[in-house]
Structure 1
Amino acid sequence: MAGCWGPLVLLLLVHSTTAFKLVCHFADWSQYRTGQGRFLVEDIDPFLCTHVVYDFAVIDHNNKLKVNEWVKKSSYVAFTGLKNRNSQLKTLLLVREAHAVDPQFKRTVSTAAARQTFVQSSVNFLRTHDFDGLELSWDHPGDHKYKFTQLCKDLLEAFERESAGTERTRLTLSASLTPHTEDVISLDHYEVPELTKILDFISVKAFDLSRGDVTAHHSPLYSHDNASIDFITQYLLDHEVPAEKLLLGFPAHARSYRLSTDTTRPGAPASGPANPGPFTQEMGFWANFETCAFLKGASAFWIDSQYVPYAVKHNQWVGFDNQASYGAKVSYLRSRHLGGAAVWHLDLDDFSGLFCGQGNYPLITHLKAELSRGLKATTTTEPQILKTPGSPGHTAVSPAPHSSSGTMGPGCLGNFTVVHPDPSLCTGRADGHYQMQQEPAVAYVCAKGLAYVTECPRVHSRGAPASRGGGLLLGLLLTGLLCVCR
């Protein structure tokens, strides 16, 4: 064990400037779903992401930050209480307009007095409810983009004043930006270069990019019409946005269509959005777990040029993401040296593991694993595929393809914690910190009956005998070297 700490110190120094963020959004309306689709704050795994964002709060008619009318204040207590189980976790509150007909942001940014009212109420609200920061989500500021930038400046100045001379960590300030899609994919409706000088990080919603009356994947890595992750990312980098402040947005939902002809390939005519999922109940919008249910008996395909899959069953067409497309997108964000990933939303992944047969949170868990790999990996991961003769750029895949997990580099990256393979460690124990009685002591955290490892063990190769105390991570991953960070 002792031999691990020297390299670990060096790796942690590297980590301090290169760690990826994994920001996961929680939608408060998911608590109102029925049956197995219902998702509560208590269902959030506090060790899955580096940051979790509560979506959403609103601005009232007095320009003050306030609780969304559908939210129970006890939900905020439970949400920020996740930090009691993982002290490294950061909790943010997202504010956005509740209704398109009520332009709350436009009203608030209109005057300096209105902005200051919002700013001061935000500081008080965040501290009262124990949030670590605020995320702004204004989809299309348009002509008010300059005043939106000024609001961000005012917030940052207030956050700095509030923590100056105290032991309080400054509140985090971030924003999630939506590409404009009415005429062309663009982010001109924000002052992005100025925002990056103010915000701690920016999450870009690189999804829901498809539009029109033909089938198309809504979050392709590349595309011929610029409605793609690559175009959006390059657009931002060309505008001198620091790559390390950009987080690539990952959807945990699919977009589906109802076919109007026998043609099924991308670009096929569609008569409108497909039937709603049984739990999300929105036309043309399916959670990952709803897509997994659809894939049983469907014909699934991989779009070679876009690095994303789609599937067809009867007259229903769906463009979705899986572990392979997530892996390709992570490889891409690495190649562009971005700061990490942001996921919308936790409750749309197969959080219970009941639908996809790949464990809890199969997409986000895979995303986390891909982000934690050695930092030099930039090769795109593709699924196990079977070429279809006569179909260039169009590949048939199994209904639930997955990529190889590869090997984990020996670095301690991203403050990621993993579940201990011995399920008995927390049996009958309350949530909290514990140590195994061995030499040297091994620390772990019990949370909801699971044990989470917080040590840097000796490196084991596959099949090697484990150390006493449970074998720390042996069998948790199938291949590679692993170092778990405190």
Structure 2
Amino acid sequence: GDEIILLMGACLLSPSTTFKLVCHFSNWSQYTTGLGKFIVENIDPFLCTHVVYDFAVINHDNQLTENEWAEESVYQELAGLKNKNSELKTMLSVRELSTNDPQFSEMVSSAANRQTFVQSAVTFLRAHEFDGLDLDWGHPGNNKHKFTQLFKDLQQAFENESIGTERPRLMLSASLTPKTDYEVTEIVDFISVKTFDLGGGTVTAHHSPLFGSNKANIVMTISLFIYFTDRKKIIPAQKLLLGFPAYARSYTLSTQVSSPGAPVSGLAYPGPFTQEMGFWSHYETCAFLHGASANWIDKQYVPYAVKNNQWVGFDNQQSYGAKVTYLMTQHLGGAAVWSLNLDDFTGHFCGQGKYPLISQLKAELSRGDTVEPQNPKTTSSPHSFISPAKDSNPSLCMDKADGSYQTKQDPPLTYVCTQGKPYVTECPTVHSRSNAASSGGLLLNLLLPSILYGCYMYR
């Protein structure tokens, strides 16, 4: 029979591992009212390894430029953070303003347009003392190869400029969704994977679960990035950063049912500061948790809470810890957070100090840097969360393209087909030791079992 083996994933780490902690923040956060107002002064220069400013834009002359006229002062303040922490890197992210203004597509449409953008990017980044550029183009569509060429052009220009000026080369990164069509893995310094907003619709669902019975989970998303990007080459795991949301997705229930999968009538009420329906910052979620019923989704390693007819799927220190464990077992390069301005950056709301989520994330990653390696006797595979399927029937992936599938058994087995072989992408259920909220209503007393350090692996 099949041998079930427990993989102690954290022991697979190299002692020389240095994780990136890339923290984004948005240009519109300065306009949030009251205690939600976020400015550069709120940034702890020692919290993250990289700070990314979202977003610059491409003008109609195909040049990189600021989104608003007053942002040059923000750039100057960001550069000033490096006077406090010389190791900090600052980057500028660029995206299209909207689908109605496809300036990315126009810019990549010809070699001349791309060169105009590339040269403007070098000039702009150096003028404002940024250390690199992040491209956030969610849906390049038919421009896949032109998108790749843009990265090649930028990489070459950054290298040439570095040689010519004897300055450190500008960094190049990409922020990509699971649906992004791309082939840039050998070009970029790192890829921030947006492992959030994965679910949602007509029923309650957490938007960033670690595991799940369908494609809408972190393990599936990362496995697709690693294994199926261009069908030929595997992405080096060290180039992938796992995306951590510092915000929640919320719904209005349409019945008395409130468990995950419950029907909804629409999005939840806007948060008092972010003012967007169905989108709550972590500090707004903390305020909501007073008097709410807080619960843990065992199969997904994430919490949710209910108060009256409002339902919210959010993250806390425990779910962050579970995701970091997965990040480490997969030897990913670190974490990317969206965003600084959505965590409890003032420490006013959650009662856990400033930046409770990101501080926890930094602490978890820092502990991983010091883990001593061992020689695990369990398996030689570093990809324990993507394990050979227990059902070894050769027909399971016969005539199936690479991708995710489910068996018809109850409960269904979620698996991935790659090169005709099936791989499990969901761990067994591990029950939390407690699902009670603390007396303060802000902390979920949900202790992560040590068994999470190893998914069961079949071989």
What TM-score, normalized to structure 1? Answer: 0.74
Residue 242 (str. 1) matches residue 232 (str. 2): no
Question: For residue 153 of structure 1, what is the amino acid of its counterpart?
Answer: K
Residue number in structure 1 paired with 2:145: 146
- Over 3 Å counting, the alpha-carbon distance change for 1:71 and 1:311 in structure 2 is farther
**Deviation of the 1:212 alpha carbon:** 1.6
**Deviation of the 1:73 alpha carbon:** 1.1
Correspondence for 1:190 among 176, 182, 195: 182
- Over 3 Å counting, the alpha-carbon distance change for 1:218 and 1:327 in structure 2 is same
Query: Equivalents in 1 of 2:447, 2:269: separation in Å?
Result: 33
**Kept after mapping to 2: 8 A contact 1:385/1:396:** no
- Over 3 Å counting, the alpha-carbon distance change for 1:258 and 1:206 in structure 2 is same
Query: Equivalents in 2 of 1:295, 1:303: separation in Å?
Result: 16
Q: Alignment partner of 1:18: what SS?
A: coil
Residue number in structure 1 paired with 2:98: 99
Residue 64 (str. 1) matches residue 107 (str. 2): no
**1:426-437 equivalent positions in 2, closer than 5 A:** none
Query: Equivalents in 2 of 1:143, 1:275: separation in Å?
Result: 37
What TM-score, normalized to structure 2? Answer: 0.78
Cα-Cα RMSD = 2.1
Correspondence for 1:310 among 282, 304, 318: 304
**Kept after mapping to 1: 8 A contact 2:281/2:343:** yes
**1:370-449 equivalent positions in 2, closer than 5 A:** 370-373=364-367, 374-375=370-371, 385-386=433-434, 395-398=435-438, 399=441, 400-401=443-444
Aligned residues between the structures: 373
**1:282-297 equivalent positions in 2, closer than 5 A:** 282-297=276-291
Residue number in structure 2 paired with 1:252: 246
Q: For residues 135-167 of structure 1, what are the alpha-carbon distances to aligned partners after superposition, in whole Å with 9 as ceiling and x for unaligned?
A: 000011111111111100000000000011543
Query: Equivalents in 1 of 2:165, 2:28: separation in Å?
Result: 36
**1:10-409 equivalent positions in 2, closer than 5 A:** 18-69=17-68, 71-180=70-179, 187=180, 189-191=181-183, 195-239=184-228, 240-373=234-367, 374-375=370-371, 385-386=433-434, 395-398=435-438, 399=441, 400-401=443-444
**Kept after mapping to 2: 8 A contact 1:134/1:172:** yes
Query: Equivalents in 2 of 1:125, 1:146: separation in Å?
Result: 25
Residue number in structure 1 paired with 2:10: none
Q: Alignment partner of 2:174: what SS?
A: strand
Identical positions, percent: 64
**Kept after mapping to 2: 8 A contact 1:203/1:342:** yes
Query: Equivalents in 1 of 2:267, 2:322: separation in Å?
Result: 27
Question: For residue 308 of structure 1, what is the amino acid of its counterpart?
Answer: V
Gaps of 5+ in 1: 1-13, 181-186, 387-394, 407-486
Question: For residue 96 of structure 1, what is the amino acid of its counterpart?
Answer: R
- Over 3 Å counting, the alpha-carbon distance change for 1:70 and 1:29 in structure 2 is farther
Question: For residue 226 of structure 2, what is the amino acid of its counterpart?
Answer: L
Q: For residues 110-152 of structure 1, what are the alpha-carbon distances to aligned partners after superposition, in whole Å with 9 as ceiling and x for unaligned?
A: 0000000000000000000000000000011111111111100
**Kept after mapping to 2: 8 A contact 1:26/1:54:** yes
Q: Alignment partner of 2:238: what SS?
A: helix
**Deviation of the 1:324 alpha carbon:** 0.1
Question: For residue 197 of structure 2, what is the amino acid of its counterpart?
Answer: D
Query: Equivalents in 2 of 1:307, 1:313: separation in Å?
Result: 21
Q: For residues 32-53 of structure 1, what are the alpha-carbon distances to aligned partners after superposition, in whole Å with 9 as ceiling and x for unaligned?
A: 0111010001110000000000
- Over 3 Å counting, the alpha-carbon distance change for 1:396 and 1:69 in structure 2 is same
Question: For residue 367 of structure 1, what is the amino acid of its counterpart?
Answer: L
Query: Equivalents in 2 of 1:36, 1:71: separation in Å?
Result: 22
Q: Alignment partner of 1:268: what SS?
A: coil
